[in-house]
Structure 1
Amino acid sequence: MKKFKKFLIWLVGIILVVLIAGAAYLHFSAYQPSTAANQAVKVAAEDNQETFFKAKQNKLTVIFYPGALVTPNSYAIWAKKVAQAGYTVKIVHFPLNMAFFKVKAADKVVNSNENYVVGGHSLGGAMAARYAHQSDNPHLKGIFFLGAYPDEKGRLDQKKLDVLSITASRDGVLNWSKYRQGKKYLPKTTEYYQIKGGNHGGFGSYGQQKGDRKATISNGRQQTIIAKKLIAWLRKIK
């Protein structure tokens, strides 16, 4: 019996070490914001739940789920531009920078009676879709995808939501086959746009992502296009 207890203690200890090591690896592997993104985020408020870009006269709130292992402030450049156009942006913070840990995180940062849209990059987009699929909040008006697509658990084809899907022509991380398959889970009214010369990492500002292709446009240019497309889409939402 004593031997079994010792073995059990040893096993639990090993499991804890592995979990702590894994968490530390994910934490230190996260992509960090560029100098330009760090500069842009200076106008934002921040706590342990969100990075918050407040619009002076908010028309509609944007809640954003970052990509896997991408720190929230990496999206500060386009978020700042969108907020300046009158749309408050809330970039959600997730444990270990992984959106699948808290799919319903949007409910924690949205205010009651506040009209809003959700969106996400890469894995964040897939999790935002799952959130929208499960939500019955009448104040949720739309969803947007940046280099992302829904799976069956996030199907939105029966939802009355405005949908925007933005891809980049040189995205080397997006699974294009699954992206095309994912279109069947989106409404027929979905608006699609592709950024020519842009890449996957260019949906944020955190440098070259592993497995991605080199962009043929600057990160600044891609950030500007993202902001313009989002603002134009948001203006059409009633």
Structure 2
Amino acid sequence: MNNKKKIAIWTTLALLLLFVIGSIMLKNFTYQPSPSALQAATNQASYTVEKTTDLVYFKPKEPAIPISIIFYQGALVNQKSYSIWASKLATEGYPVYLIHHAFNLAVTSKDKAQTIINEYAIGDYVIGGHSLGGVMASRFAHDKQMNPSTESGLLKGVFFLASYPDPKGSLKNSLLPILSVTGSNDGVLNQKSYIDGKKFLPKNTLYLSIKDGNHAGFGSYGHQKGDNPATISNEEQQKQLSLILSSWLDTIKK
């Protein structure tokens, strides 16, 4: 075996080793769902739960409301962490799809929603995300409005949880209902980027804040590095968030 082949083999092995180590480190740093979130992600009287490598799907018992909710996780947050508010909306009749991205990073596939839409034959839907997930969801929504497809359901709205759009996800000329929800105690959200992001949203965007809520409280996965403590319980923030989302969705289904 010549030196070039040896170098190629050792380089490949080194890269594989780095990939494995990196994957393990990312997994160890991923925020995991609370016991309450895990319990919500189980079959209940009002909905069933389908779990695959790509998503957690909350399927309401019939009759379901014909508007699905597609959601992108925050960076390094397991998608099951959003099961509490998702389960509350499923109980009301909304199909909810909590999408899993590679390494729990929505930036790895902003268009994964389209795969789920095709696979589950989703009709009308709204899309949203938490933190980095919201940025990627807005990019998907931007592209859908620029290149609408007649082969799948229609995008009916976009929502941001402690998040904002960037130039690639600009929705400033959109006629869609847009919702932006933040927590008053959020210590993770980049406030400058959040304010700058408003120029990429239409004037009719609905901005709401959950008093005393924080960044991690939009899911249920414990403390997040850099976040400020919430001065309401996670249960209360989840309750308020589900009510906000439900009221917003009510305006869309009408």
TM category (shorter chain) comes to: over 0.9
Residue 60 (structure 2) aligned to one of 55, 58, 63: 55
Equivalent position of 1:14 in the other structure? 14
Equivalent position of 1:82 in the other structure? 89
Inter-partner Cα distance in structure 2 for 1:98 and 1:184: 25
Structure 2: tracts of 5 or more residues without a match: 44-48
User: Could you tell me how far 1:3 is from its partner in structure 2?
Assistant: 2.1
User: Could you tell me how far 1:48 is from its partner in structure 2?
Assistant: 1.6
Residue 115 (structure 1) aligned to one of 116, 124, 127: 124
> Identity over aligned residues, as a percent?
47
SS in 2 for 1:183: helix
Superposed CA deviations along residues 47-67 of structure 1, whole A, max 9, x for unmatched, are 122111112322210000010
Inter-partner Cα distance in structure 2 for 1:106 and 1:7: 41
Equivalent position of 2:109 in the other structure? 102
Inter-partner Cα distance in structure 2 for 1:113 and 1:15: 39
Inter-partner Cα distance in structure 1 for 2:113 and 2:56: 13
- Give TM-score scaled by structure 1 length: 0.96
Q: Does 1:133 align with 2:139?
A: no
Superposed CA deviations along residues 13-44 of structure 1, whole A, max 9, x for unmatched, are 21221122111211222111111111111122
Superposed CA deviations along residues 53-97 of structure 1, whole A, max 9, x for unmatched, are 112322210000010111111101000001111211110011111
User: Could you tell me how far 1:4 is from its partner in structure 2?
Assistant: 2.7
| Paired letter, 2:3 | K
Structure 1: tracts of 5 or more residues without a match: none
| Paired letter, 1:32 | Q
Partners of 1:61 and 1:116 within 8 A in 2? yes
Inter-partner Cα distance in structure 2 for 1:58 and 1:104: 25
| Paired letter, 1:58 | A
User: Structure 1 runs of 4+ off > 3 angstroms?
Assistant: none
Partners of 1:169 and 1:197 within 8 A in 2? yes
Equivalent position of 1:124 in the other structure? 133
Inter-partner Cα distance in structure 1 for 2:35 and 2:166: 34
Equivalent position of 2:46 in the other structure? none
SS in 2 for 1:51: strand
Partners of 1:82 and 1:231 within 8 A in 2? yes
Equivalent position of 1:169 in the other structure? 184
Q: Does 1:151 align with 2:158?
A: no
RMSD across aligned C-alpha pairs, in angstroms?
1.4
Equivalent position of 2:223 in the other structure? 208
Inter-partner Cα distance in structure 2 for 1:179 and 1:196: 17
